Amino acid sequence: MKMNKINEIVSDYFETFSSLKTAKKYNLHNTTVLKILERGDFLKKVVIVDGACLYRLDIGIHTYKPLYYKVEDETGCHILVSRKNNYPKVYPNGVGKRISHVILERLGNKISPNQVVCHSCDNPKCVNPEHLFIGTKKDNSQDMVKKGRNRVIRKSFKLNPMIVKEIRELQGIKPYKEVAEKYKIHPFTVHKIWRKVRWNWV
């Protein structure tokens, strides 16, 4: 396969982070796309996607799909973009393990069965070691209460397309916590609106 074709395939993958979609687009087998992605020359480089820098995350465990994160300047969070779910996992030996656990353990921390990894930034997709700390489930619950994340019912604006547009217009102008307070919504909801994870059709 020619290098320009390989580069095209890799670029397409970083638009969707789906090897299956990329394989289907180029009429290739999924394993072929994965083998291309495992090439060292691609994994060592910083990738530019939609003007944003994505950095390779090395957790010391082989993953079939490379892990990449972007840095949020305002919060300092390292947001994992190559995994769609919150609290992303890897599967060493077929057993699921949260990436946040793997990162802290690799730094020499021991996490006992009765301990959990907490996020000081309240963003479950953040993999910045400086935002991760080990605590008990009780510590995590107390932190949740302290920050108001335990409120299932809270007075808030009912989101609609007009309000969502207003929130998006404040991106880069006001801090996300200030925006959340103004509209009486959770700060994480602001992040999702800004990243177009929610209300992406507006």
> Count of domains in the chain?
3
Q: Of 62-66, 71-75, 97-101, 122-126, where does mean pLDDT reach its minimum? A: 62-66
Task: Answer with the residue of higher pLDDT: 135 or 156.
Answer: 135
Q: What is the mean pLDDT of the chain?
A: 78
Shared domain check, 123 and 53: yes
Could you read off the pLDDT of 143-189 as tens digits, one per residue?
Answer: 766 766 554 444 445 788 888 899 999 988 888 888 888 888 888 88
Domain boundary among 132, 150, 168: 150
Question: What's the DSSP call for residue 61?
Answer: S
Shared domain check, 122 and 140: yes
Q: Which two tokens stand for residue 197?
A: 């994870």
Could you read off the pLDDT of 20-68 as tens digits, one per residue?
Answer: 888 898 898 888 887 777 665 555 456 665 666 777 777 777 676 778 8
The enclosing domain of 59 has a CATH number of: 3.90.75
Shared domain check, 106 and 54: yes
How far apart CA 30 and CA 43 sit, in angstroms, is 18
pTM beyond 0.95: no
Q: Which residues contact 147 (CB under 8 A, 6 or more apart)?
A: 122
Shared domain check, 108 and 169: no
Shared domain check, 73 and 126: yes
Domain extent at residue 167: 154-202
Task: Answer with the residue of higher pLDDT: 67 or 85.
Answer: 67
Instruction: Tell me the H-state helices in the chain.
Output: 3-16, 19-25, 30-37, 40-43, 99-106, 137-146, 161-169, 176-183, 187-194
Shared domain check, 38 and 72: no
pLDDT for the residue numbered 51 = 62
Shared domain check, 141 and 59: yes
pLDDT for the residue numbered 47 = 60
pLDDT for the residue numbered 152 = 45
pLDDT for the residue numbered 154 = 44
Shared domain check, 8 and 93: no
The pLDDT of residue 197 is above 50: yes
Provide the residue type at 76 as one letter.
Answer: G
DSSP string, 146-193: HTTTT-SS---PPP-HHHHHHHHHTTTTS-HHHHHHHHT--HHHHHHH
How far apart CA 199 and CA 3 sit, in angstroms, is 38
Q: What is the mean pLDDT of residues 117-133?
A: 88
Question: What's the DSSP call for residue 59?
Answer: -
Shared domain check, 118 and 53: yes
Shared domain check, 31 and 17: yes
Shared domain check, 104 and 53: yes
The pLDDT of residue 140 is above 80: no
Shared domain check, 145 and 53: yes
Provide the residue type at 108 as one letter.
Answer: G
pLDDT for the residue numbered 153 = 41
